[in-house]
A = this chain, B = another copy of it.
Amino acid sequence: MDITVAIDAMGGDHGPHVTVPAALAVLDRDPQVNIVLVGLRDVLEAELRQRRRHTDSRLRIHHASEVVAMDEPPAQAMRNKKDSSMRIAVELVKTGEAHAAVSAGNTGALMAISRFVLKMLPGIERPAICTVLPSLRGSVYMLDLGANVDCTPEHLRQFAVMGAMLASAVEEKTNPSVGLLNIGTEVIKGNDVVKEAAELLRHSHLNFHGYVEGDDIYKGTTDVVVCDGFVGNVALKTTEGLARMLGAFLREEFKRSLLTRLMALAAWPVIQRFKKRVDPRCYNGATLVGLRGIVVKSHGGADSFAFRFAIERAVSEARHGVLRRISDQMALIHPESTQQRAVAQ
Instruction: Mark A residues whose CB is within 8 Å of B.
Output: 106-108, 111, 129, 134-136, 146-147, 149-150, 181, 183-184, 186-188, 190-191, 213-219, 227, 229-231, 233-246, 248-250, 253-254, 256, 260, 263-264, 266-270, 273-274, 277-278
CB contact under 8 A between A266 and B266, given known A230-B231, A245-B136: yes
Q: Which residues from chain B contact A191 at a C-beta distance below 8 Å? A: 149-150, 230
User: What would 20 A/B residue contacts be, using CB atoms closer than 8 Å?
Assistant: A107-B184, A129-B187, A135-B245, A136-B244, A136-B245, A136-B248, A149-B183, A187-B229, A213-B234, A214-B233, A217-B242, A218-B245, A219-B244, A230-B231, A238-B239, A246-B278, A250-B274, A253-B270, A263-B268, A264-B267
Q: Which residues from chain B contact A260 at a C-beta distance below 8 Å? A: 269-270
Q: Which residues from chain B contact A218 at a C-beta distance below 8 Å? A: 238, 241-242, 244-245
How far is it, in angstroms, between the C-alpha of A235 and the C-alpha of B184 when the chains are bound?
12
Q: Tell which of B107, B213, B233, B239 touches A242, judged by Cβ atoms closer than 8 Å.
A: B239
Q: Tell which of B244, B246, B267 touches A263, judged by Cβ atoms closer than 8 Å.
A: B267
Q: Which residue of B lies closest to A300 (CB)?
A: B186
Shortest distance between the CB of A307 and any CB in chain B (Å): 18
How far is it, in angstroms, between the C-alpha of A183 and the C-alpha of B187 when the chains are bound?
25
Shortest distance between the CB of A229 and any CB in chain B (Å): 7
Q: Tell which of B181, B241, B242, B248 touches A234, judged by Cβ atoms closer than 8 Å.
A: B181
CB contact under 8 A between A241 and B219, given known A149-B183, A184-B146, A186-B108: yes
B278 touches A188 (CB 8 A): no
Stoichiometry, copies per complex: 2
Shortest distance between the CB of A135 and any CB in chain B (Å): 7
Given contacts A146-B186, A149-B190, A263-B266, 5 further A-B contacts (CB under 8 A): A239-B239, A243-B246, A253-B273, A263-B269, A266-B267
Q: Which residue of B lies closest to A247 (CB)?
A: B246
How far is it, in angstroms, between the C-alpha of A147 and the C-alpha of B235 when the chains are bound?
18
Q: Which residue of B lies closest to A220 (CB)?
A: B245
Q: Which residue of B lies closest to A235 (CB)?
A: B238
Shortest distance between the CB of A283 and any CB in chain B (Å): 13
B233 touches A234 (CB 8 A): no
Q: Tell which of B136, B238, B270 touches A238, judged by Cβ atoms closer than 8 Å.
A: B238
Q: Which residues from chain B contact A263 at a C-beta distance below 8 Å? A: 266-270
How far is it, in angstroms, between the C-alpha of A108 and the C-alpha of B253 when the chains are bound?
39
Shortest distance between the CB of A127 and any CB in chain B (Å): 11
B239 touches A187 (CB 8 A): no
A186 touches B270 (CB 8 A): no
Q: Which residues from chain B contact A129 at a C-beta distance below 8 Å? A: 187
Q: Which residues from chain B contact A253 at a C-beta distance below 8 Å? A: 270, 273-274, 277
CB contact under 8 A between A214 and B190, given known A183-B146, A183-B234: no
A242 touches B242 (CB 8 A): yes
